[in-house]
Amino acid sequence: MAFLDSIANVPRLQKVVAGVVGLVVVAGLGYFLLISPKIGERSTLRQQNEALRTEVRKAQADEANLRPFRAQADALRKRLQAAKERLPSEKEMPRLYRQLTDIAFQSGLQVALSDFMANLKASGRFKDVDLVDAKQDLSKSPRTITFEVTCRFEI
């Protein structure tokens, strides 16, 4: 209690000065310990925010550029689906091919192609054997027909 009595007996001006000095010390410590680190964190967050905003603007521009391509891709998918619906299925292909070879045989053409394609399929190494194009050379005798065949080879 003697300490408190000595403070109570100090002149009023000294008490005010001591109080102001104490407040300045507390305010300084509060600034340097609490506020100053947050200011640095705030500036870092602002930089990150600007970088993210720039990235978002770039992504929005990219997305806007991709819209026509997406629409084009959708249109192409629809055209592909429509083409697939018009083409014969894999199950119908052998029947269609047999019809083609029958028509060729009835026309008097030798059909070595059917044996060739059948051998390709039977080997088990070639998948999706398809007839792509047939060209007939009328200038030569006997008439020759050139067939373009595609197949997928699996290992």
Task: With cut-offs at 50, 70 and 90, classify the pLDDT of residue 17.
Answer: very high
Identify whether residues 83 and 140 lie together within a single domain: no
Cα separation, 36 vs 32, in Å, equals 5
Note whether residue 53 is domain-resident: yes
Domain count, the chain: 2
For residues 10 and 96, the model is more confident at 10
36 is in which domain, residue-wise?
12-87
Q: Which of 61, 87, 113 is the last residue of a domain?
A: 87
Mean pLDDT over residues 50-77, rounded? 92
Percent of the residues in the chain that have a pLDDT greater than 70, as a whole number: 53
Angstrom CA distances, 39 to 27, 34, 57, stand at: 16, 9, 27
In this prediction the pTM is 0.38
